[in-house]
Amino acid sequence: MTQIVKMKGMNKYFGKLHVLKDIDLTVEQGEVVVIIGASGSGKSTLIRCVNGLEEYESGTLEVDGQHLAPKSGNPKSLAEIRKEVGMVFQQFNLFPHLTVKKNIMLAPQKVKDAPETVANATAERLLNRVGIGNQADKYPSQLSGGQQQRVAIARALAMEPRLMLFDEPTSALDPEMIGEVLDVMRELAKEGMTMMVVTHEMGFAREVADRVIYIHEGAIVEQGKPHDVFDNPQNERTQAFLSRVLAH
Binding site for other proteins (CB under 8 A): 51-53, 79, 82-83, 85-87, 89, 91, 93-97, 106-107, 110-111, 139, 141, 152, 155-156, 159, 165
| Burial call 38-47: b when 16+ CB within 10 Å, e when fewer | beebbbbbbb
| Local structure of 203: helix, strand or coil | helix
Separation between Cα atoms, residue 151 and residue 143, nearest integer Å: 10
The residue (of 60 and 99) whose beta carbon lies closer to other proteins is 99
Q: How many CA atoms lie within 13 A of 7 on its CB side?
A: 24
Rounded to a whole number of angstroms, the minimum distance from the CB of residue 82 to other proteins is 4
Question: What is Dmax (Cα atoms) for the chain?
Answer: 55
Separation between Cα atoms, residue 84 and residue 100, nearest integer Å: 22
The residue (of 85 and 220) whose beta carbon lies closer to other proteins is 85
Rounded to a whole number of angstroms, the minimum distance from the CB of residue 114 to other proteins is 12
Rounded to a whole number of angstroms, the minimum distance from the CB of residue 54 to other proteins is 10
The residue (of 93 and 232) whose beta carbon lies closer to other proteins is 93
The residue (of 38 and 106) whose beta carbon lies closer to other proteins is 106
Rounded to a whole number of angstroms, the minimum distance from the CB of residue 24 to other proteins is 24
C-beta separation of 139 from 78 below 8 A: no
Separation between Cα atoms, residue 235 and residue 194, nearest integer Å: 27
C-beta separation of 246 from 200 below 8 A: no
For 134, counting Cβ atoms within 10 Å of its Cβ (0-12 exposed, 13-18 middle, 19+ buried), the class is exposed
Q: Which amino acid, one-letter code, is at 32?
A: V
The residue (of 19 and 220) whose beta carbon lies closer to other proteins is 19
Rounded to a whole number of angstroms, the minimum distance from the CB of residue 144 to other proteins is 17
Rounded to a whole number of angstroms, the minimum distance from the CB of residue 198 to other proteins is 14
The residue (of 89 and 230) whose beta carbon lies closer to other proteins is 89
Rounded to a whole number of angstroms, the minimum distance from the CB of residue 156 to other proteins is 7
If you ran DSSP here, which 8-state letter would residue 15 be given?
A: T
The residue (of 166 and 241) whose beta carbon lies closer to other proteins is 166
Alpha-carbon 143 to chain mean position: 22
**φ, ψ at 9 (rounded to 5°):** 55, 40
